[in-house]
């Protein structure tokens, strides 16, 4: 009892509503859409969109661990997803079909465990070259890995070969999206908890300066592999959920383009920005799906062109000054603070004053998950005066 009390005090001490805002949003969406869905107010196509957004965000979060926080480029995350999808589906179809028909929920959970574990094992394998390779070279290895996995699945008859695997026990569309959202919430919690711990700091330290991280006692090999494994497990679970939404799916679905699509979500959301990744993953999925439904018939060939144009526009105007100003004024944090103040005022009938001591102590820097590449720096065509950046030169290894 006493232990619980300490736990609660410690929790309260570090609690900041803006750190938890995304949890509330996801949980709120789950409850809202769950209720509406149960009442039959949602169209089937909308439920499918929710499903796609859900697993899209899960996989984007997985990749954001590797790209945004570890600072390594992976172009093979669709492969982890496909491992989860095919293994999960295979187990549901062939290993425990009785369970799949009698209690599909348990079967799906089991499939997620198996798919996640299998993808995690492959994450370990791909983490090994990451110890020696960096940047572009690792990207090439992961790219090759993705293609190898695709070709393997195309040639294994058990998984249906190139024609793909049939999902015999497809989960009920009216409830699968709730499960996906629940998994999304869990993923989000795990990713945030990882990042805001000493382990997360070690990972970002490796990203910022590997040599300094080593000399500060960070076990670089351990963390690189750990991040790849965790990321792969999450992507694998996302793959199982993807499989649950499909009647049949082919290995060709998980190609290079799909990996790039996930990467686009992460980059557009801002490297190392979890909330941004979630929002951009939702938006990109939405655009993709909408384009598919709007452009029918002969126009369907234009889909990729429009998609590319929209992406280019998004990237360019993502950092437009007016939009930036708007965002800094109406961002999630401020919104959360406003809602929180309103609630506090409503329930306690006193004005909520931010405690200045706590603000300084935990607020400001817990919420700021460091971002690697400032997008405006990357994209700005303006001339950036170098005068305020003192030139320190670059030394050799360990200088």
Partner 1 sequence: MNEIVLKTENLGISFGGLKAAQNVNLTVYKNELYGLIGPNGAGKTTVFNLLTGVYKPTNGTFSLMGENLVGLKQAEINKKGIARTFQNIRLFNNMSVIKNVMVGLANRKEYKCNLAQSLFRTPKYYETEIAMRAKAKELLDVFGLLEERNQLASNLPYGKQRKLEIARALATDPKLLLLDEPAAGMNPQETEELMETIKFVRDKFDMTILLIEHDMKLVGGICDELTVLNFGTVLCQGKTDEVLCNPEVVKAYLGE
Minimum CB separation from partner 1 for residue 339, in Å? Answer: 23
Minimum CB separation from partner 1 for residue 269, in Å? Answer: 16
Minimum CB separation from partner 1 for residue 305, in Å? Answer: 36
Specify the residue, 10 or 172, whose C-beta has the smaller distance to partner 1: 10
Minimum CB separation from partner 1 for residue 131, in Å? Answer: 12
Specify the residue, 198 or 351, whose C-beta has the smaller distance to partner 1: 198
Whole-angstrom CA distances from 367 to 18, 205, 324, 361 are 7, 17, 19, 11
Minimum CB separation from partner 1 for residue 58, in Å? Answer: 16
Minimum CB separation from partner 1 for residue 217, in Å? Answer: 4
Site residues (vs partner 1, CB under 8 A): 3, 6-7, 10-11, 13-14, 190, 193-194, 197-202, 204-205, 207-209, 211-220, 226, 272, 360-361, 364-365, 368, 370-372, 390, 392-395, 397-399
Specify the residue, 386 or 394, whose C-beta has the smaller distance to partner 1: 394
Specify the residue, 164 or 272, whose C-beta has the smaller distance to partner 1: 272
Specify the residue, 2 or 296, whose C-beta has the smaller distance to partner 1: 2
């Amino acid at each position: 009892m006493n232990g619980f009390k300490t736990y609660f005090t410690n929790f309260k001490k570090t609690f900041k509503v803006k750190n938890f805002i995304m949890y509330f949003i996801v949980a709120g969406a789950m409850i809202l859409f769950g209720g509406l869905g149960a009442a039959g107010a949602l169209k089937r196509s909308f439920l499918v969109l929710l499903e796609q957004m859900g697993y899209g965000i899960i996989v984007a979060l997985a990749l954001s661990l590797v790209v945004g926080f570890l600072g390594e480029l992976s172009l093979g995350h669709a492969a982890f997803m496909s491992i989860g999808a095919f293994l999960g589906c295979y187990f549901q179809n062939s290993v425990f079909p009785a369970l799949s028909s009698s209690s599909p929920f348990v079967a799906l959970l089991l499939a997620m465990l198996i798919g996640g574990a299998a993808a995690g094992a492959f994450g370990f394998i791909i983490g090994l070259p990451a110890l020696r390779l960096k940047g572009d070279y690792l990207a090439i290895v992961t790219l090759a890995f993705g293609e190898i996995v695709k070709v393997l699945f195309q040639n294994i008859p058990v998984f249906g070969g190139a024609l793909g695997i049939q999902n015999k026990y497809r989960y009920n569309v009216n409830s699968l999206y709730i499960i996906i959202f629940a998994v999304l919430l869990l993923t989000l919690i795990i990713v945030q908890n990882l990042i805001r711990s000493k382990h997360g700091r070690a990972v970002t330290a490796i990203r910022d300066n590997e040599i300094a991280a080593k000399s500060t006692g960070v076990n670089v090999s351990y963390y690189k592999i750990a991040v790849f494994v965790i990321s792969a497990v999450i992507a694998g679970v996302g793959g199982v959920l993807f499989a649950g939404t499909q009647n049949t799916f082919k290995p060709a679905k998980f190609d290079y383009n799909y990996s790039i699509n996930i990467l686009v979500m992460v980059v557009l959301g801002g490297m190392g920005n979890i909330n941004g990744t979630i929002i951009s993953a939702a938006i990109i999925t939405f655009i993709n799906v909408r384009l598919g439904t709007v452009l029918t018939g002969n126009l369907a060939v234009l889909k990729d062109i429009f998609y590319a144009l929209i992406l280019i526009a998004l990237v360019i105007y993502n950092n437009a000054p007016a939009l930036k100003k708007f965002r800094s004024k109406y961002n999630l944090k401020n919104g959360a603070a406003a809602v929180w103040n309103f609630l506090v005022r409503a329930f306690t009938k006193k004005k909520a004053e931010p405690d200045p001591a706590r603000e300084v102590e935990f607020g400001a820097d817990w919420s700021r998950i460091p971002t690697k590449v400032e997008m405006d720096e990357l994209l700005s065509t303006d001339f950036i005066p170098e005068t305020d950046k003192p030139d320190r030169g670059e030394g050799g290894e360990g200088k």
